[in-house]
Every structure is written in structure tokens, then in C-alpha cells.
Chains A and B, each alone.
Chain A
């Protein structure tokens, strides 16, 4: 934690950056919230602990052209690679303070869980994939545990009609607040398809059949781009298990194309390339 503060102070005083985005304490006194530090004397407010679940990389999209320091966990760092790959941010405009992380806990307003978040339990990325300054000791290279898609498998095990009922029930609750979109680093469209009036893809009526289009395409637009920070699910006021949709695609993208989003900056997202010889069970 002190390391982060010192580095932030150094960056700000040397004017290497004009703002450091990190974590501060929330008003409930127990959880954390994003913190924008502009003044060196402010750095003492910076914290880092098990409650720092936010993926701050989203904020880089508002700071194009401005030098910014940012605190990232390993999962967040993958989002940075995605944004670099898509030329949304410039590497030389971002100073990345990577934090070694062995998982964050489930938090809600004024509640800090004991358990690691589910995603952290199967996560084997404990060191950021990209950083300028590393906080903490990189752990021993443990053999990467196989990705655990238990939650996804649970849904896959259901019958079609069960799945349909399951999602309709959830989509029915959706109030289209778009918090899931607003929090997602991968969602930076100038105009989201759901806001588009012409062509009108999604009607104004907040109803399951409209919401279904929203959620299906939201997930699909993130196919091969979602690095699994699960912010969408965390912020959903209606407890819609959005991560299931993303995880499903992460799983299939990995199985079909052997691709994992954001592991490096260069690799082209799977829908931006192809293999002539692959069949993918189509046209056979």
C-alpha cells in the first residue's frame, strides 16, 4: 500500500502523470471506491486491500491524451491489453502500477465478505500481464490450474426450456439501467447499439424480449474481449448473473480458438481472424 502511495507521489511530483487513479475508502468505512489523485499531498488517501474489486481501466477511456497513472490488478491488466490492442489507449500515456493479487472478496455496500470472489478462486493470473511498476512479490510460478467453468456447466446441464425460463426470469428483472455497460472497459462505443434509433435494434419497452436482445448482443460484443473482471455482474442492481454469459463465451472462445483475451497486446481477437482449416461444426 505504501509502495503505491510513494510511487503515486513520485509520479505526480515529477509530473510524469497529472493524475493517478487508484482506490480510496468508501463512505461506509469498510469497502473501497475509485480514487482520482491529482495532488501529491492527496496520496495518503490511496489504499489497497481485499475490497478493491473495481476495474479502474474503464476510466482510462475518459483520459485519452492525458498522462495517467493507474493501479491495476492482474485481471484488470488484461483489460489494458485489450484496450491497447484496439488502439483505444496509448501505452505511453499510461503508467501502470501493477499489484500482485491473490484475489479480492465479495463486497456490497457496508459488507465485506470472507470468501474470495468466485472468479478469484479459479484465477491463476496473480501477476499483472503488463505494468511499469510492480507492487508485491510475484508468487512462485504455480502450474496454471485449469479454468473452472463450473457455474457455466451448471447452466449448460439444464434443458433448453429450463435455460430459456432461467434467462427470461432474469431478463424480466432487468430495468435497463446499463450499469453493466457503463462499468465495462470493453464497452466504449460512441453510440451503443441499444441507444441507436435507426436502425432500431432494441425497442424502448423494458420487457424480456427486448432485454434479451440487449443482453445477448452485449455479451457477444465482448466475445474474445472480456477479460473477466465481472464488474458488470457486481454493479447489476437486479442480480442478473451476467458473468455467466461472459464466462460462457470466454470458455467457448478458449475451446474453439484457443484464445484468452488480453494476455498480450498484439494477438488479434478471435473474431478478427480465422483458420482456413477449422470447421467449427458448420456446413458439415
Chain B
């Protein structure tokens, strides 16, 4: 019983770590390039979930100044780190998507195995 209680207490962090590993698993095992980019996005979002979970205060109020003094606010710093982190993950995704367009234009395929096969074939030729 006590383990389930502990499990429920830490559910945010376990969820974040699970998402991180799912993202890593998609990036590593999936063959389609766009699926790998999605895996990268999942990893980014999981770290932001982890950061929010750190800064969360149960019964906390979003950090805008309230009138009555004895209201407790959540920790604002992780939210600022996330605002900066989201833009970073977005720009990395856009860049890898533009590379995928070019790879599709040049090789005609987005599958990682066919790509490595085509590249190895070219190396043998020249």
C-alpha cells in the first residue's frame, strides 16, 4: 500500500521520466525521419514537464501579484526556464524538418535504412 502511495506522490516526475525515455526510444529505434523529430519533441516536452513539476506548489497561485498577502505562489523560475526552452526545441525542430525536405528532394526517401543503403551505394561508386 505504502508503495502505491509513494508512487502517486511522485506521479509528475515519473510521468516526465517516462516521456523522456519514450522520446529517446522513438529517436533511437524509429526509421522514419519525421518520427524521429517527433521523438525529439517528446523528449523536450518531458523535460519541461519535469521543470514545472519541480516548481509546483500544491494550492499555489500563478505568480501574478494578488491583493491579499497570505496567498502562496508557485516557484516562478522554472516557468521562465521553460519559456526559454520551448523556443529552443521549436527552432531545432524547424531546422531538422527543413533538412528532411531536402533529403526527400535529393534521395526521394525518408526511411533511415534506405538512406544509409543509398549513401553506401554512392560511396562504392565514387
Partners in one complex: no
